[in-house]
Chain A
Amino acid sequence: MKEFEAGCSRPKGQAKPATETVLTPDVERGEQRTMIQVGKPAPEFSAPAFYQGKFVEMNLADYKGKWVMLCFYPGDFTFV
């Protein structure tokens, strides 16, 4: 993971998907959000991260060849 300088502006490289995907379903056109499926490729993305005292850019594609666990949670300082 490559380190980046964090200045007054927000870190560059806002979390973004690597593939072009419709992110927000168009409900009026009858689109529904679909859950990703087991047995199918995990959507690729890159995102800024805090890791061991540094700000770094993480890219999921860099971890091909390794087991990966992604853990989403509601927010820092929440209690559970």
Chain B
Amino acid sequence: MEVFSISVDSVFVHKIWNDNELGKMLGGKDVPFAMLSDQNGNIGRLYGIYDEEAGTETRGRFIIDPDGIVQAFEVMTPPVGRNVNETLRQIQAFQYVREAKGAEVTPAGWRPGKNTLKPGPQLVGNVWKEWKVQEAFEE
């Protein structure tokens, strides 16, 4: 998994943010992923998340598979932070179904180790036997 962050800040500002703040949160280590600079907003426009009025990116997060296909995205306005665990859960689920090549799908609330569903004629109308609503809420 390769992670990249992107904002309209220059690479110089990224360095100073790394050196003076983020590095301190990480116990003196550098930020472990590349911090990309999109100073003219072109990448943000390409992905549909650039805010023309504010001149900044919104909080957009994209999961791209090994074939270069966008599997998921989430876009939020600035004041609310993301849930990293939910992002990790989605990545694990997309990796699982890719591995299963369509033989299995992950129901709501799925986490590694929990039951998957096997789509097919025999499952039609029978999901209630295989999956309980409470599973959507269980960790």
Total interface residues on A, using CB and 8 Å? 53
Provided the pairs A15-B43, A69-B4, A76-B7 are in contact, do residues A40 and B70 lie with their beta carbons within 8 angstroms? yes
Report Cα–Cα, A48/B10, bound state, in Å.
9
The verdict on B66 contacting chain A, using a C-beta distance below 8 Å, is yes
Q: Which of B1-29 touch A at CB < 8 Å?
A: 1-18, 21
Which residues of the other chain, B, contact A66 by a CB distance below 8 angstroms? Answer: 1-2, 66
- CB pair A17–B42 under 8 Å, yes or no, is yes
Q: How far is the CB of B96 from chain A (nearest CB, A)?
A: 12
Docked-complex contact A49 and B69, CB < 8 angstroms: no
Report A-chain residues with C-beta under 8 Å of the C-beta of B106.
Answer: none
Please report the C-alpha to C-alpha distance between residue A78 and residue B63 in the assembled complex, in whole angstroms.
Answer: 23
B36 an interface residue at 8 Å Cβ cutoff? yes
